[in-house]
Structure 1
């Protein structure tokens, strides 16, 4: 039943868009909601929607915090349910989610999406989900993942994603720390992980499997169909009472860090963190509300990471986006096939995804005939030059650019499935200038987002109105920043403030105090500088700074990127030298990956083989180069490093020694995190003996 206030608000909405296509949709949605018997919870004002609080932070799952509401801030705090409620009113009959079943895309509307989430919430309540206890979700992106996430929040729990690549022990840590009452798993593979550790999960009450047939008869293990039937006898009133008790300054989501420097930390995000960021960060990226133009995207990145979760799940609800779910083997090669079918209007990738795409395109170009190859290279150089000039002078692009784009580049973008895409985002890790410039050559602007799990994702963003290379764009409107401990060159630690700043680390008061200073500013640990136009440039990370035995501070990332730019055969370059007399470097070569396991093989990639051929080397495997110390390849690498050294600001910043490792870094190998970010402490430990060998006299 709809309240009088909601009826009045809906009438006002109708009047404001009279004779628009949305008018009948809004009316139909209200009627559908009424017929469905769904009782909407009344909206609350900012003052009544907040739980009592005494601080800007807490480490208690049931705690509440002061919100960083600036004077004159127009957005009132709302819960996740209130955000969804408002979207169903506006977009109820529009398609929301699309899943591929039997080679056909099956779509559901926002109203159906909302109803499925309520059913999931009732089933969680039936299973005994306790307030502020976790619902852990372990598996690949799907509609069921979304229903579980939103349903967990509606039912008063805390939604907790677990990386699908986690070991059983890592799963156990997250589930135990979040006091998970229910764990939702994708398939038998993920179920097996939980079964190995369930005796160490005292809060666990049930497991739900959402894909594949349940193979085992185990008490409190439910198929998705069984799960969705469980809560049918839970009344709307009972669920609405739980929803009504929720406040915008309470925790609803946990994001676990990768734990590269210790135990993973549970980043507590409030309803307001989620709803405010979903609304404001997407505006900076020019995402459009569905009543203007419905955006579409493909969901494939890990939803346990804040970047994908904000982009796919919460922003999708906020603005009425149509989300297509990729196949589980998306990163093994099927992503482009899905992109071609869907033709999304917006696409996000972590840097390694864009790099892999770049490598695939280059491989395809290398196999073209002479004339076609020359035509593509010409078109890309015209596009790169035109895009660079437009950034500097904001002038009209020349006719030659439009000719190159229509004749060549449009077809290349279509082959990637990006022919209709207007917004391209990169986040979760720094992206190399080489990759950015390559895509500019395809007339694709990669908008870089910079932030942390602790800032609910993006705090700075590039976009159509804030684009300048090699910056991360400008601060998201409504957020603030300051630079701490600024040096003579204007470089300092980047600190964040805003409605997006997290509540605290779960059960870790000491770590929370380390992250937030006395005034509540979040210290990022990243070093950067801001130019006169407000554009942010990341220069390094405090914890990654190498301090040599001579006391020289060396930021590793610029040197590593320079080496990879000089040497197209190199996939990973990691600088070593903390407390050492000189710098050395670990290198890996670009290799093919096993199509099933995604583990790197010894076989060199097509680009790496071409690099060798141009030198006169016949190498096709890593062993061909290392075992025989291929003089052509080794000499070329040394010459590339010499060129990087020639640009060094001091002798202390020169690479004195280097070595090639036998295999590429990978997620499965442990050297890379789930978002392909280099795990430096892990690499240092794994290759300790190799590193020590570089420093033996």
Structure 2
């Protein structure tokens, strides 16, 4: 048996047990860093504080004991509705150490859907970030007979209201105080709960943010997370001396899996979910690795391009040249590494790369904190040409792949041997096969138990022998690298019988056009493909100021004929590289950007195609007016 097999097969049954092992091994080592906003009306830079593993354990045990004192029984659900912050992680661990199961809720979820999740999961306790999250539960309390308590993270917001049952609202500090009192009387209460947890006991219930209908609760037992902790470390992706910057929503399975790997390896994690603080935080945190979704890398790329363009024609030409060099360098070095094991480049290309590094790439790396060894990208596909640019600039983006139903991480690119445009190789212990229709099937210790209370829905995707139907179309290379080509349900079949993968075309356009935020390719049962294009506000306003549209609002720039002509040039460039049936014959610029608030994107920033196509149906109909099938 290999060392990797031993590591995974001898895993503890629970993350709670893994946490105890970590605390025992390195009690004084730094575990978490978190920001404390500057006091006073003037504000100022945040003050960052730390928790050691031992200090974190004290708070986790207090939370766990507090929940036990409230009557929480094994596998009963505790919902968590909060942005990413250190208290989210401590609460999550506290629930698991109490033997309970965490139901995750995005803080952006509206009151109706939050109420549905709380009711469907039969959550006994809600841990709410602030007054806003408390108000959602209070508004729907009549329909939540199982919800016995709401614990509010921000103590100032833990205020009861007329009509609240006695003791219904308490602060996290109150809960921890109760827990410490309980531990004083029953010092082994939490350890006894942990010892009693079995590998198949429910640990997490994550509701998928589907594009239609009610979300489904994905049941993930303790063994899923214990496996993920061991398997992600076995890939060599993370090290004990790493500093992780964690900003992803922890309500999403991608963010959740990162906390499990950290416990196994024991590195430092800096936690701050405020997206508007990312640029400010990176030089302070100086992470060695971080995870993000493609939209973040796309925005960084567009922002760098816009900044170069604002510097004048010469500076922008240097930037464009450096982009070409980076992409060529990445492709050559990755190909040479695949063939020889050495990431080498010819002398002429290496020389150009060195010059471009001094002019452009080094500044980009400094913006990421200067110490970034690798960035992990997941949740949706990253446009390969954007990936090649970052790779050539020395920011190595390791694409990965997984579903909520597979505990997030089923594939990841292996360190130096990563290949842009693929999602890498399966995690140790995970099996993969490609069905006759091209669908990717997965089997292994990371696969869910099923959908909560929905056996029929479970049977639709999970076979009796453990194979999970992912709904994604993919291709495996002879040496095991997976490339996802599209969602099975998103494949377009034109009225001419040709199949089109919209995500592939959309990715190519994002690499060509520095102004695009999102593009939605349409064409199912039509005789040509069209596109709805949303433009990035800062990037297009920067262009507008230099092209006779200065002073115009974002909405006015989007509606301008000059903007339409600009985007037309990029669509023509895109079409030159496509097959005839793939080309975009018509497009429309959307009157606003797509976002989570309008329901166009999921909280993990995935595109909701049906929602967008429904909302902007009038623009789609306009493009096909007069065509044969219209």
Q: TM-score, with normalisation over the residues of structure 1?
A: 0.81
Contact kept, 8 Å, 1:376 with 1:408, in 2: the verdict is: yes
The 1:504–1:143 alpha-carbon spacing in structure 2 relative to 1, beyond 3 Å, is same
User: Can you give the 5+ residue segments of structure 1 that lack an aligned partner in the other structure?
Assistant: 1-68, 487-491, 593-602
Give me the whole-angstrom Cα distance separating, in 2, the residues matched to 1:421 and 1:73. 28
Contact kept, 8 Å, 1:604 with 1:621, in 2: the verdict is: no
Q: 1:217 matched to which residue of 2?
A: 160
- 1:660 is displaced (CA, Å) by 1.8
Query: Would you say 1:483 and 2:429 are equivalent positions?
Result: no
Cα offsets for 1:117-170 (capped at 9, x unmatched): 111001111122232221111111222111110111111211111111110111
- 1:556 is displaced (CA, Å) by 1.1
Q: 2:361 matched to which residue of 1?
A: 409
Contact kept, 8 Å, 1:183 with 1:206, in 2: the verdict is: yes
Contact kept, 8 Å, 1:381 with 1:441, in 2: the verdict is: no
Give me the whole-angstrom Cα distance separating, in 1, the residues matched to 2:422 and 2:101. 35
Where 2:585 maps in the other structure, the secondary structure is: strand
- 1:185 is displaced (CA, Å) by 1.0
1:232 corresponds to which of 180, 189, 201:
180
Residue correspondence of structure 1 range 122-201 to structure 2 within 5 A: 122-201=65-144
Contact kept, 8 Å, 1:128 with 1:181, in 2: the verdict is: no
Give me the whole-angstrom Cα distance separating, in 1, the residues matched to 2:51 and 2:592. 44
Give me the whole-angstrom Cα distance separating, in 1, the residues matched to 2:520 and 2:505. 9
Residue correspondence of structure 1 range 36-185 to structure 2 within 5 A: 74-101=9-36, 102=38, 103-185=46-128
Residue correspondence of structure 1 range 126-525 to structure 2 within 5 A: 126-211=69-154, 213-214=156-157, 216-218=159-161, 219=166, 220-234=168-182, 235-284=186-235, 286-288=237-239, 290=240, 294-311=241-258, 313-326=259-272, 330-332=274-276, 334-368=277-311, 381-394=324-337, 395-397=343-345, 400=351, 401-402=353-354, 404-405=356-357, 409-417=361-369, 419-486=370-437, 492-525=438-471
Q: 2:624 matched to which residue of 1?
A: 695
Contact kept, 8 Å, 1:494 with 1:525, in 2: the verdict is: yes
- 1:609 is displaced (CA, Å) by 2.8
Deviates more, 1:580-589 or 1:170-179: 580-589
Cα offsets for 1:350-374 (capped at 9, x unmatched): 1111112222222222233666666
Counting matched residue pairs gives 598
1:634 corresponds to which of 555, 558, 564:
564
Give me the whole-angstrom Cα distance separating, in 2, the residues matched to 1:128 and 1:447. 44
Give me the whole-angstrom Cα distance separating, in 1, the residues matched to 2:508 and 2:455. 40
Contact kept, 8 Å, 2:8 with 2:230, in 1: the verdict is: no
Give me the whole-angstrom Cα distance separating, in 1, the residues matched to 2:549 and 2:221. 57
The 1:562–1:142 alpha-carbon spacing in structure 2 relative to 1, beyond 3 Å, is closer
- 1:506 is displaced (CA, Å) by 0.7
Give me the whole-angstrom Cα distance separating, in 2, the residues matched to 1:221 and 1:243. 27
Where 1:132 maps in the other structure, the secondary structure is: coil
Give me the whole-angstrom Cα distance separating, in 1, the residues matched to 2:106 and 2:31. 24
- 1:604 is displaced (CA, Å) by 3.6
Give me the whole-angstrom Cα distance separating, in 2, the residues matched to 1:543 and 1:570. 24
Query: Would you say 1:649 and 2:597 are equivalent positions?
Result: no
Where 2:402 maps in the other structure, the secondary structure is: strand
User: Can you give the 5+ residue segments of structure 2 that lack an aligned partner in the other structure?
Assistant: 39-45, 338-342
Give me the whole-angstrom Cα distance separating, in 1, the residues matched to 2:433 and 2:427. 13
Where 2:134 maps in the other structure, the secondary structure is: helix
Give me the whole-angstrom Cα distance separating, in 1, the residues matched to 2:7 and 2:290. 33
Q: 1:526 matched to which residue of 2?
A: 472
Give me the whole-angstrom Cα distance separating, in 1, the residues matched to 2:588 and 2:318. 38
Cα offsets for 1:296-332 (capped at 9, x unmatched): 1122110010111111x21121111211122x5x322
Contact kept, 8 Å, 2:287 with 2:372, in 1: the verdict is: yes
Where 1:360 maps in the other structure, the secondary structure is: helix
Q: TM-score, with normalisation over the residues of structure 2?
A: 0.89
Give me the whole-angstrom Cα distance separating, in 1, the residues matched to 2:88 and 2:318. 45
Cα offsets for 1:433-469 (capped at 9, x unmatched): 2321231242111100111111111111113243123
